Amino acid sequence: MLGQENNPNVYMPINKNEAGFTMISVLIMFTIIIIMMPFFVYFMQMISPTSYDDELAARQLFIFVRNDAILAEQFYERNNKLYFTVNERETATIEKYQDVIRRQVNRKGHEIYMRNIEQLETESLAHGIRVIVTTITGETYEKTILYYEK
């Protein structure tokens, strides 16, 4: 160690401009962060994923109802319930039960078609049946199921 002071190969630069952060630069940095924080929160809320669970469940419900209508010999609605006569011994019913839409065959079973339902409305039309579903979040989905010729 004693020989390093006189060694010409050892070079250690010293810059006089390396003073570090000043208090003013730190305050400016915090001010910029505080001003930008509401924008960051807003942008983070905008990029959050939107849930399409209710829409997918409604589409699936309408596919199930359409398939039941295709397979049934006849179908009709009464008191916001859909009735599908498959044959002379089987009648399937689709109705709102508590907060779900269920399907039963001959008033037995409990097959869930859709959950979190506020209201199920059915309406007879000249060419089919209109089904309107309102979820507990207030979203409304509507589909017309046509009569099929066999």
In a shared domain, residues 67 and 82: yes
In a shared domain, residues 22 and 88: no
pLDDT tens for residues 111-133?
999 999 999 999 999 999 999 99
In a domain? residue 107: yes
pLDDT tens for residues 14-28?
666 656 668 888 899
Q: Provide DSSP, 30-50.
A: HHHHHHHHHHHHHHHHHTSPP
Q: Is the pTM above the cut of 0.75? A: no
In a shared domain, residues 17 and 32: yes
Structural domain including 110 reads 53-146
Q: Provide DSSP, 125-142.
A: -SSEEEEEEEETTS-EEE
Domain count, the chain: 2
In a shared domain, residues 38 and 63: no
